[in-house]
Structure 1
């Protein structure tokens, strides 16, 4: 079979996929006035429903030239200051945040027909916050943070594993400190959008917009 035929078969399959979205109603009157409380409620329900990776946060960044990139990170905590994730400060995402701190994130729970979009500005967490989280990581992950030059081209898998073994030996018997080039970011939101799939594609979309110290709530068309 030619590759063109295989691609057409995949496209034909996609066109035949049909599903109905169902979910509890989501409206302006029933949601929390505070989007962080609404996020906490939905995240708890995602965890209780045992969805796969409920804290997987799809993070989009852009360079100063407007070149975009996207990847999944893990949401490691949030409060009313924002949503926190951790990474290498020399990674592509970190370099783009340094050039353009405006970012957006997406939490997607297909099992619940739900998603949450967050837009805002990314800023570094304090060293104390990064140190505290780093101490909770498995020792192997702590060592890996030291030897991974994230987003850079490397010679081979073998070279990576050899670097890990050498670092593992050098830290033997000692606590692994946090690398100075590794730490957290806080996504400080300016807007949230909560999306609930509904029948006949008449989905519920509730938008929170930052208005000084309060949040303005609006409904969007599906």
Structure 2
């Protein structure tokens, strides 16, 4: 069990704390420290959640990429509000993030898409994400078709494949403590700044 300590509350904004925690998680988590649960819901309020990977972040928001016609993409069009959750078990920490979702620019999407391995880029063409799949062989056939269509490294980004940025209006930092007396600190956007609040466990 890692040594635990309370969350520093001297910071007036949450991003320096997230940067420190994320850097520690990148060193301590055995795999995918950038994995985060993304929760979305339909316009009628029916929720769904899944794990996605954080690909970029700064004070403007937290970015992941997907097929915009997938279930999560469709739900974000219907209801452009989302929540993220990082759980770093090795550190006994969680970070919760809530806020509206916006699309990344075409330039951002192009740059990230170009950085992906070739088969991953082809997979964006081959997978009709979230649609029924008759058998695994169907996906493999579609992948082979796009491998033949784009035999080299010049593979354009599909128009339906891009990124979303969750713009935080609230972040909560949770630190495991003995006897379930956990330490919780919330940052809530307050005009141009942030209000900082301690929360009962």
**Superposition TM-score tier, normalisation by shorter sequence:** over 0.9
RMSD of aligned Cα (Å): 1.3
Using the TM superposition, give the Cα deviation of residue 21 of structure 1 relative to its aligned residue in structure 2, in angstroms: 8.3
Using the TM superposition, give the Cα deviation of residue 135 of structure 1 relative to its aligned residue in structure 2, in angstroms: 0.5
> Which structure: greater helix fraction?
1
1: CA distance, partners of 2:153 / 2:9? 54
Matching residue within 4, 16, 24 for 2:5: 24
Runs of 4+ residues over 4 Å off in structure 1: none
Aligned partners of 1:90 and 1:150 also within 8 Å: yes
Q: Deviations over 1:142-201 (max 9, x none)?
A: 000001110000111001101101110110135011000000000000000000001111
Structure 1 residues 26 and 174, CA, compared in 2 at 3 Å: closer, same or farther? Answer: closer
Q: Deviations over 1:119-155 (max 9, x none)?
A: 0011100001000000000000000000111000011
The residue number in structure 1 matching 2:101 is 122
The residue number in structure 1 matching 2:152 is 173
Gaps (5+ residues) in structure 1?
1-19
Q: Is residue 127 of structure 2 the alignment partner of residue 148 of structure 1?
A: yes
Aligned partners of 1:21 and 1:200 also within 8 Å: no
The residue number in structure 1 matching 2:36 is 57
Aligned partners of 1:209 and 1:216 also within 8 Å: yes
Q: Deviations over 1:72-97 (max 9, x none)?
A: 00000101110000000100001000
Q: TM-score, normalised by structure 1?
A: 0.88
Q: TM-score, normalised by structure 2?
A: 0.97
The residue number in structure 2 matching 1:218 is 197
Indicate the structure (1 or 2) with the bigger Cα radius of gyration.
1
The residue number in structure 2 matching 1:111 is 90
2: CA distance, partners of 1:193 / 1:60? 15
Aligned partners of 1:21 and 1:201 also within 8 Å: no
Matching residue within 83, 87, 92 for 2:62: 83
2: CA distance, partners of 1:173 / 1:221? 56
Structure 1 residues 93 and 82, CA, compared in 2 at 3 Å: closer, same or farther? Answer: same
Using the TM superposition, give the Cα deviation of residue 33 of structure 1 relative to its aligned residue in structure 2, in angstroms: 2.0
Matching residue within 149, 152, 164 for 2:143: 164
